[in-house]
């Protein structure tokens, strides 16, 4: 038989693409595929849930805030002579600058809303209890950083709203015993907010706080993986185990839907309620009535109560009440040792959360009504 008809045609070997070579290179040195498998195959007790999306959404919002903030820094000038004009330049002269600034502005509000929602979910589900005490404490620190982000960023446009909101905020900090005077003088850098104040707030906002947030977020994720997800607060261990699912694909899908929803919401707010500056910052407020950002309005209104009038009342409202509240949150996982996590079997926790939310909503509405009356 002719040999040329008896041997099959040779099949050329598959040549890996550049991306495949890169993946193989990384996998050989850092165990990329093993790392990917561990992340995607993370077991979720009780299965995927929409209540679990807030952590991923917060990381997404922070990434977008970092991106939009970096783009804004290409045009923003952090000096009292140019901060206001450069912000107006972004709004009126930079292509889509008004949208970029609006997205960054409303993104900060979305971050506050999501961090409150995330911590509320952890509290209501009892996910702060043993062995997740450290997760709760790091979460509280991240909450403080998010609030400080809003406070420091509010000054940067250097208009009347920014100037006087910062003035009021620093005056509240000044009432803190022992360290209050030092903190106030450090932040202001002088008797009134000026160039030193703007410079320090800018450095805090774009360098120190982002670094602190990334470090604590990394620690938070590490502790989360060590402690593992808490799972739902109801059901027997057997029922929860039977419903255990993996992070991929169902939970990732829910996270992506949540991110898309938040992104669309922030874009809508940036389009419908763009940032409009007041007059440039000046030591005289004129007809402007100083007030903080909306998520501080409830506290601003709370301090107007008669019980907080006078020097002692101001100390009580500005320092004592917030310190006691934060101390209770820090101590919560250590004195609440009851393993019961079902919120409907923890009436004190449920009633406390409802009461706090009602107070925040009512005092925020009262502050808005009071503002409309003054205007």
- Exposed/middle/buried for 316, CB within 10 Å: 0-12, 13-18, 19+? middle
Q: What is the pLDDT of residue 188?
A: 86
Measured CA to CA, the distance from residue 23 to residue 9 in angstroms comes to 31
Domain 50-228+240-374 coded CATH 1.10.10.60 = no
Position 9 scores a pLDDT of 56
Closest CA to 157 of 198, 97, 98: 198
Q: What is the DSSP letter of 245?
A: E
Over the chain (375 residues), what is each successive 10-residue block's mean pLDDT?
A: 53 75 84 76 82 93 97 96 96 96 96 95 93 95 95 93 87 78 84 89 96 96 87 75 80 94 98 94 78 86 85 84 93 92 93 96 89 57
Q: Which DSSP string do the residues of 84-98 spell out, in sequence order?
A: HHHHHHHHHTSTTHH
Residue 231's CB: how many other CB atoms inside 10 A?
A: 22
97 close to 90: Cβ distance less than 8 angstroms:
yes
Give the per-residue pLDDT at 114: 96
Question: How high is the pLDDT of residue 120?
Answer: 95
SS3 breakdown of the chain: % helix, strand, coil, rounded to 5?
A: 70, 0, 25
Question: pTM higher than 0.85 for the full model?
Answer: yes
Q: Are 273 and 101 in contact (CB under 8 A)?
A: no
pLDDT at 288: 74
State which H helix or E strand residue 186 sits in: helix 180-188
């Amino acid at each position: 038989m002719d040999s040329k008809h008896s041997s099959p045609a040779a099949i050329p070997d598959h040549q890996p693409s550049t991306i495949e070579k890169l993946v193989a290179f990384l996998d050989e040195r850092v165990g990329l595929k093993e790392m990917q498998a561990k992340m995607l195959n993370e077991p979720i007790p009780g299965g995927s849930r929409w209540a679990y999306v807030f952590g991923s959404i917060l990381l997404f919002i922070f990434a977008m805030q970092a991106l939009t903030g970096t783009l804004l820094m290409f045009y923003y000038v952090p000096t009292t002579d140019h901060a206001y004009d450069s912000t107006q330049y972004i709004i009126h002269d930079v292509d889509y600058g008004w949208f970029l600034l609006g997205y960054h502005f409303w993104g900060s509000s979305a971050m506050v809303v999501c961090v409150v929602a995330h911590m509320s979910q952890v509290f209501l589900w009892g996910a702060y209890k043993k062995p997740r005490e450290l997760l709760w404490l790091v979460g509280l620190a991240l909450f403080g950083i998010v609030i400080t982000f809003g406070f420091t960023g509010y000054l940067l446009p250097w208009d009347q709203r920014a100037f006087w909101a910062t003035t009021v905020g620093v005056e509240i900090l000044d009432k803190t015993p022992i360290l209050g005077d030092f903190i106030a003088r450090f932040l202001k850098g002088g008797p009134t907010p000026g160039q030193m104040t703007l410079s320090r707030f800018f450095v805090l906002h774009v360098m120190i706080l982002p670094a602190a947030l990334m470090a604590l977020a990394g620690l938070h994720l590490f502790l989360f993986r060590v402690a593992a997800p808490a799972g739902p607060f109801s059901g027997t261990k057997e029922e929860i185990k039977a419903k255990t699912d993996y992070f991929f694909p169902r939970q990732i899908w829910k996270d992506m839907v949540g991110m898309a929803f938040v992104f669309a919401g922030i874009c809508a707010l940036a389009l419908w309620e763009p940032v409009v500056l007041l007059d440039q910052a000046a030591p005289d407020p004129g007809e402007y009535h100083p007030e903080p950002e909306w998520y501080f309005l409830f506290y601003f209104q709370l301090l107007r109560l008669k019980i907080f009038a006078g020097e002692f009342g101001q100390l009580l409202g500005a320092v004592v009440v917030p310190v006691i509240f934060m101390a209770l949150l820090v101590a919560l996982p250590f004195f609440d040792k009851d393993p019961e996590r079902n919120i409907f079997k923890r009436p004190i926790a449920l009633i406390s959360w409802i009461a706090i939310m009602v107070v925040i909503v009512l005092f925020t509405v009262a502050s808005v009504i009071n503002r409309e009356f003054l205007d």
